[in-house]
């Protein structure tokens, strides 16, 4: 454990951020799996919204987000 006050604070802040990121990633995976299993318009649009949010928060790279959105759109079009 760190001895310096600022280092202790950084450890606590990182814990909070890690927890937030983990929560968002977990929810994102769940929503995307649901959209891929059952590609309805509402499932896919909700999944795309979550992908955009993860990208905006810096949890997912913008190219990966674009690729995932494209894959979801393809599955939706194929299901129609």
Which tens digits make up the pLDDT trace of 15-42? 999 999 999 999 999 999 999 999 999 9
Sequence-separated (6 or more) residues with CB below 8 Å from residue 53:
24
Please state, in angstroms and rounded to a whole number, the distance separating the CA atoms of residues 29 and 35: 10
Look up the pTM and report it: 0.84
Q: How many domains does the chain have?
A: 1
Q: Rounded to an integer, what distance in angstroms lies between the CA atom of residue 62 and that of residue 55?
A: 6
Range of the domain at 56: 48-80
Q: Is position 79 within any domain?
A: yes
Judge whether 38 lies within some domain: no
Tell me whether residue 59 is in a domain.
yes
Q: What is the pLDDT of residues 46-76, one digit of tens each?
A: 999 999 999 999 999 999 999 999 999 999 9
- Residues 30, 49: contact at Cβ < 8 Å? no
């Amino acid at each position: 454990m760190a001895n310096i006050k600022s280092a202790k604070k950084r450890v606590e802040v990182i814990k909070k951020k890690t927890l937030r990121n983990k929560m968002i990633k977990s929810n994102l995976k769940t929503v995307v799996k649901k959209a891929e299993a059952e590609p309805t318009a509402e499932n896919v649009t909700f999944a795309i919204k979550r992908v955009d949010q993860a990208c905006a928060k810096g949890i997912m790279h913008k190219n990966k987000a674009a690729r995932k959105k494209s894959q979801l759109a393809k599955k939706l079009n194929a299901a129609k």
